[in-house]
Amino acid sequence: MRNRSLPGRHITDCQMRLYMSFRQADTPTIAAAKAGFSSATAYRIEQDLRLPSQKKAPRGRRRRDPLSAVWDSEVVPLLKSVPGLRPVAIFDAIRRANALPLPLRYEPWLFNDIAGAAVRRSPR
């Protein structure tokens, strides 16, 4: 990948050092552009001058995964058998297999069923 300044990418220690060397002569916005990241990141760096490798690692998952119980046993086999399956069809299959009630805001007017054919349902 040639464009290394994509949004969502973490900055490296090398970029941080490069930014700090440019920052001695330039404004944060110009120094950030030369180092290859946004001016918002530059102002965030100004608040905490530690290298990215020296900062505390981000926390892991804060809530348990709601699909962990059915992922390997139901979802993965469905996706392997019908690769183009839509998410709402997977949700409906999980709901039917586990006899779960419908959430209040779920209205399946038009969705793909497990076989992949479009199914039109009338409102209840």
Residue type, 110: L
Q: What is the H or E stretch that residue 15 is in?
A: helix 13-23
pTM of the predicted model as reported, rounded to 2 decimal places = 0.46
Backbone angles phi, psi at 112, to 5 degrees: -90, 135
- Could you report the per-residue pLDDT of 21-77, keeping only the tens digit for each? 999 999 999 999 999 999 999 999 999 989 988 988 778 888 888 788 888 998 899
